Amino acid sequence: MSLTHDDVHRIARLARLELDDQEAAASLEKLNGIFGLIERMQAVDTAGVEPLYHPQAVAQRLRPDQVTESDRRDAYQAVAPQAEDGLYLVPKVIE
């Protein structure tokens, strides 16, 4: 598949981009290069190749799901200007 100059201008208009002719020509070259790469990749025979969910066959080490720090909410709220029922009270900023 290869794009034309008109295709690039149409895509730019749909994307609400303003391209001059020089930028459109540069974009046309880059887009056609991308489409050429995609065509070459699709031409590769992948029959019999299993899809990978990860490039390496490794297992992720997981840590135990347990609390490692103590609850220090009261100590943090002790220095707050205003706190009530575990919440910080702040002045109203939106009317």
Digit-coded pLDDT (tens) for 9-19: 999 999 999 99
How much is the pTM? Answer: 0.51
pLDDT above 70 coverage of the chain, percent: 100
So what CATH class is 5-42? mainly alpha
Mean pLDDT value across residues 66-72:
91
Q: Dihedral (C-alpha) 33, 35, 40, 44: value to the nearest 10 degrees?
A: 150
- The share of the chain scoring above pLDDT 90, in percent, equals 68
Structure tokens given for 44:
């590769």
Rounded average pLDDT over 1-16:
92
Helices marked H in the chain: 5-14, 21-42, 73-78
Mean pLDDT along residues 56-80: 89
Consecutive H or E run containing 87: strand 87-88
Residue in the structure block whose two tokens are 């919440």: 87
Q: Give the chain's radius of gyration (CA, Å).
A: 29
